[in-house]
Amino acid sequence: MPSPSPIPMGQEDRPPSAEAPQSLWSATRGWFQDAGELLRVRLALLGVEAREHALDVAEGLAATVASALLLVLGSGFLAVLLTVLLWESHRLLALALFSAVFLTLGVVALLWARRRLLGIRWFAASMSELDRDVERVRGRS
């Protein structure tokens, strides 16, 4: 007759389900720690991207303002020069043509800027990482 296996000391007093809450608690705690770390990494990535976007926007705005100012001044002086040259013969034609050219260029620049700003995909890397995280949570990767 085989001898019964000895029960380790201290375990005969506890019911078998006493280990389950502790392991459930440690698993839940581990999950929250992983979720917190994931959130911290994602927020750090978002901060880096926000900084990069802010610098890109600031540089773009500074270059746009400088070029617009210089182009407006140069165009204005050119218009005045040509209007003065044509003052005796075709002053109204010169003024009308310059007005039409400046207004047309202004509308074209406005449409280009609108299209450019609407085409920006903000925080693309963060969105991509979040999409991957969602797929991992759903268990598809």
pLDDT digits (tens, 9 = 90+) for 60-111: 888 888 888 888 888 888 888 888 888 888 888 888 888 888 888 888 888 8
Q: How far apart are CA 7 and CA 69, in angstroms?
A: 88
| Domain, as residue range, for 100 | 23-133
Asked if residue 100 belongs to a domain, the reply is: yes
Q: How far apart are CA 97 and CA 118, in angstroms?
A: 32
| CB contact at 8 A, 42 and 126 | yes
Please tell me the predicted confidence (pLDDT) of residue 2. 55
Position 11 pLDDT exceeds 80: no
In the chain, the number of structural domains is 1
pTM (whole model) above 0.85 = no
Q: How far apart are CA 74 and CA 129, in angstroms?
A: 47
Range name among 26-30, 51-55, 77-81, 111-115 with the lowest pLDDT average: 26-30
Asked if residue 48 belongs to a domain, the reply is: yes
Asked if residue 3 belongs to a domain, the reply is: no
The band of 3, judged by pLDDT with boundaries at 50, 70 and 90, is low
